[in-house]
């Protein structure tokens, strides 16, 4: 899934134009400072260089990268965790104004990838472009073999995304329902949250399945309805 607006890597990376992520629908209650710092970084027209965002799975790293790509012309998003890409893809995107690379921890201890990431960091500054990378841990805790790469990341702007509170996740489920023309009471959202994985990514995938079942059956999303679904039958 890659969002881009040029043809440079058309043959190697599929385009996902359906992603609805934006800054306006990012639930920033627990990460307002990080959101503000990232937007300030992107809005400075004279700025070039890179930043690194880290946080656990489901904290919204990919959401922010997609939202960022939509804001800046000539941008490309590369998810290292989801695609079987070769390291030279990073050479192909060097001339983009804005490059987002998701889940760099997925290529730790892979020499070719680490080398290309280091080159991209250097070329980003030299060419006056912007680069945002994400990972699941702070730079010093990543399992990279290259000390130069770790030091480069540590020397850049580093933003942390914290896991959302349960209250925020309930709000996210309610809003997700509204986006699909459905209604979910907070008590129902709490029921879902108590019984399933709490990372946001898994939670939203689960809710999308619930919403689809609701639409197909033309029934409201209530606790009795949820208990009839396979995901809740063994509670």
The C-alpha atoms of residue 37 and residue 24 are separated, in whole angstroms, by 15
Give the N- to C-terminal CA distance of the chain in Å, as an integer: 34
Percent of the chain predicted with pLDDT > 70: 87
- Give the residue from 72, 63, 90 showing the smallest Cα distance to 149: 90
Question: Is a pLDDT exceeding 50 seen at residue 175?
Answer: yes
State the average pLDDT for the chain: 83
CATH number for region 166-232: 1.10.8.60
Q: What is the pLDDT of residues 64-111, one digit of tens each?
A: 998 888 888 788 899 998 667 889 889 888 888 889 999 999 999 999
- Give the residue from 168, 124, 172, 113 showing the smallest Cα distance to 146: 113
Q: What is the pTM of this model?
A: 0.73
**Spatial contact of 68 and 132, defined as CB atoms under 8 Å apart:** yes
Helix (H) or strand (E) holding 181: none
pLDDT of residue 18: 47
More confident residue, 232 or 211: 211
CATH number for region 32-160: 3.40.50.300
Distinct helix (H) and strand (E) counts, the chain: 9, 5
User: Do the strands 75-79 and 49-54 form a parallel or antiparallel pair, or are they unpaired?
Assistant: unpaired
**Spatial contact of 129 and 98, defined as CB atoms under 8 Å apart:** yes
The C-alpha atoms of residue 124 and residue 50 are separated, in whole angstroms, by 7
Domains of the chain: which residue ranges? 32-160, 166-232
Query: What is the mean predicted confidence (pLDDT) over 4-18?
Result: 42
Q: What is the pLDDT of residues 35-66, one digit of tens each?
A: 888 888 888 766 678 899 999 887 889 889 98
Query: What is the mean predicted confidence (pLDDT) over 170-175?
Result: 88
pLDDT of residue 15: 39
41 Cβ neighbours under 8 A, 6+ residues apart: 47, 51, 130, 157
pLDDT of residue 223: 92
């Amino acid at each position: 899934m890659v969002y881009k607006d040029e043809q440079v890597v058309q043959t190697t990376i599929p385009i996902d134009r359906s992603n609805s992520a934006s800054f306006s629908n990012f639930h920033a209650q627990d990460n307002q400072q990080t959101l503000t710092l990232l937007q300030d970084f992107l809005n400075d027209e004279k700025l070039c260089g890179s930043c690194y965002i880290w946080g656990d799975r489901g904290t919204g790293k990919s959401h922010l990268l997609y939202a960022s790509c939509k804001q800046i012309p000539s941008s490309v998003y590369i998810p290292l965790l989801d695609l079987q890409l070769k390291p030279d893809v990073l050479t192909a995107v060097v001339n983009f104004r804005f490059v987002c690379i998701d889940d760099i921890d997925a290529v730790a201890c892979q020499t070719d990838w680490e080398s290309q990431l280091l080159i991209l960091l250097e070329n980003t500054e030299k060419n006056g472009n912007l680069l945002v990378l994400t990972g699941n841990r702070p730079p010093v805790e990543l399992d990279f073999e290259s000390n130069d790469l770790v030091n480069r990341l540590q020397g850049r702007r580093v933003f942390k995304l914290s896991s959302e509170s349960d209250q925020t996740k309930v709000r996210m489920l309610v809003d997700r329902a509204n986006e699909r023309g459905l209604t979910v009471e907070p008590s129902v959202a709490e029921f879902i949250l108590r019984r399933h994985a709490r990372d946001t990514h898994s939670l939203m995938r689960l809710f999308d399945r619930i919403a689809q079942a609701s639409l197909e059956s033309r029934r409201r999303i209530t606790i009795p309805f949820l208990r009839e679904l396979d995901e809740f039958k063994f509670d």
